[in-house]
Amino acid sequence: MRQKIQDLVASQREGDYWDFKERHHENKAVLLHDILCLANTITKCNKYLIYGVSDPSSGCEIKGVPSEGRRSQADIIDFLRSKNFAGDIRPEIELRTLIMAGVEIDVVIVFDHPNKPYYLTEDYRDNGKVVEAHHIYCRNSDTNTPITSSADLRRIEAMWRERFGLDLQPAQRMEELLKHPDDWEKDFSNGRFCYHKFYPEYQIEFGEVKAFKDVYSYFYISEKSFIGTAKFRYLSTVLFTLAYVCCDDSRIEFVDPTNASIRTKSREIWYQYFELNGRDGAFLYFMTKGTYDFHSPMSQAAFILYKSEEQRRLFETYVKENLSALDAQPEDEIGKIRKNRIAQANENFYFDPVEMIKLKNLFDIWSMQKS
């Protein structure tokens, strides 16, 4: 992140996905307008509102953020939550503070999602400035749509096309369709087969399953588990394949997780996770009908659900630097039982169920503090 912001400052200009401000906004309507302009920009990357840097006419000088009027991440999130957005869909942001040139700067990250356009259903006013209802704002190069206007029709059309996935390649389109599990029809009379109700050329074929064991098999009452391959088709073309699993003697189905380890000087911590904004995450959403629920009667696995690869890197770095916080987590008695079951079955996994649960608990605490 620091390198990214340094590069943007060094460019000595503003662009379609970054904007410099010397201080936090005094006027909240102007703040909302700036966030909307960045959030609706079509550029395929996260956007950055960078406080503590002068504008290009003043040489993009790193001055640091004045303490007066400075907002926290919670302040901005609460502000956005209180506004009437169409469909109750609002931009997702995160604020990070960086040390650059010996001073603090604040960076509001406006995450890129295909939910554009973001717009209000009621006017928002503050000291003579009005973010108008049903006006769609965006950013073109280094210029925002004026607060009294709407973006041009060509850009608004591009936003809607992105929301509905009309410009996606078939594999990308499949991932978006998986995020709406109710729109799929299951046809298990001719094998385990699904097709999309409105786009039947998109299909999922669930292959035969075979018995297997993984560490998470023992997180359920019955360790009987099975694994199979799902083929994702567009017409007769297989776009990609993913593994799916049936656990607790087929009482619950989900996607095979990704294995990972956090390596430190003293030890290696193995765990399993899903990245929700990736292909596995879309399939997991489909398999769990949007719940991300791994519960079976009286038990569930200890997977970590990351929003993004960036969040995974941040958390793994945090764990490496705060092993004492991990060790301070209480040992779960159920985790000990699962560990004993694995030993009694003479299975040899890299994973320690007790430590997996502790890591999951630490992630829940860490992510709550970040939200």
Q: What is the pLDDT of residues 242-274, one digit of tens each?
A: 999 999 999 999 999 999 999 998 899 999 999
Give the Cα separation of 59 and 296 in Å (integer). Answer: 59
Query: Stretch 227-239: mean pLDDT, rounded?
Result: 97
Check residue 239 and give its pLDDT.
97
Least confident span in 104-118, 212-226, 285-299 = 285-299
Q: Strands 210-212 and 225-234, how do they pair?
A: antiparallel
Least confident span in 34-43, 84-93, 185-194, 302-311 = 185-194
Give the Cα separation of 333 and 336 in Å (integer). Answer: 5
Check residue 1 and give its pLDDT.
83
Q: How many CB atoms lie within 10 A of CB 163?
A: 15
Give the Cα separation of 123 and 109 in Å (integer). Answer: 24
- Whether the pLDDT of residue 189 is over 70: the answer is no
Check residue 13 and give its pLDDT.
95
Q: What pLDDT band is residue 155 in, cutting at 50, 70 and 90?
A: very high
- Whether the pLDDT of residue 190 is over 70: the answer is no
Check residue 188 and give its pLDDT.
61
Q: Which domains does the chain have, with CATH numbers?
A: 2-163 (3.30.950), 172-370 (no CATH)
Query: Stretch 122-135: mean pLDDT, rounded?
Result: 97
Check residue 9 and give its pLDDT.
95
Q: How many CB atoms lie within 10 A of CB 99?
A: 10
Q: What is the 3-class SS of the chain, one letter each residue?
A: CHHHHHHHHHCCCCECCEEEECCCCCCHHHHHHHHHHHHCCCCCCCEEEEECECCHHHCCCECCCCCCCCCCHHHHHHHHHCCCEHHHCCCCEEEEEEEECCEEEEEEEECCCCCCCCCECCCEEECCEEECCCCCCCEECCEECCCCCCCCHHHHHHHHHHHCCCCCCHHHHHHHHHCCHHHEEECCECECEEEECCCCCEEEEECCCEEECCHHHHHCCCCCEEEEEEEEEECCEEEEEEEEEEECCCCEEEECCEEEEEECCCCEEEEEEEECCCHHHHHHHHHCCCCCCCCECCECCCCEEECCHHHHHHHHHHHHHCHHHHHCCCCCHHHHHHHHHHHHCCCCCCCCHHHHHHHHHHHHHHHHHHC
Query: Stretch 180-199: mean pLDDT, rounded?
Result: 86
Contact yes or no for 248/224 (Cβ under 8 A): yes
Give the percent of the chain with pLDDT over 70: 98
Q: What is the pTM of this model?
A: 0.74
What's the full length of the chain, in residues? 371
Q: Judging by beta carbons within 10 Å of its beta carbon (0-12, 13-18, 19+), is residue 148 exposed, middle or buried?
A: exposed
Mean pLDDT value across the chain? 94
The CA distances from residue 331 to 178, 259, 273, 326, in Å, are: 37, 22, 20, 10
- Whether the pLDDT of residue 226 is over 90: the answer is yes
Give the percent of the chain with pLDDT over 90: 88
* Nearest one of 87, 8, 103 to 46, comparing CA atoms: 8
List of residues 6+ apart from 197 with CB closer than 8 A: 183, 184, 185
Check residue 137 and give its pLDDT.
98
Structure tokens at 268: 């290696």
- Each residue of 59-85: pLDDT tens digit? 999 999 999 999 999 999 999 999 999
Check residue 191 and give its pLDDT.
65
Check residue 297 and give its pLDDT.
79
Check residue 187 and give its pLDDT.
74
Query: Stretch 9-32: mean pLDDT, rounded?
Result: 96
Check residue 301 and give its pLDDT.
85
Q: How many CB atoms lie within 10 A of CB 309?
A: 11
Contact yes or no for 206/233 (Cβ under 8 A): no
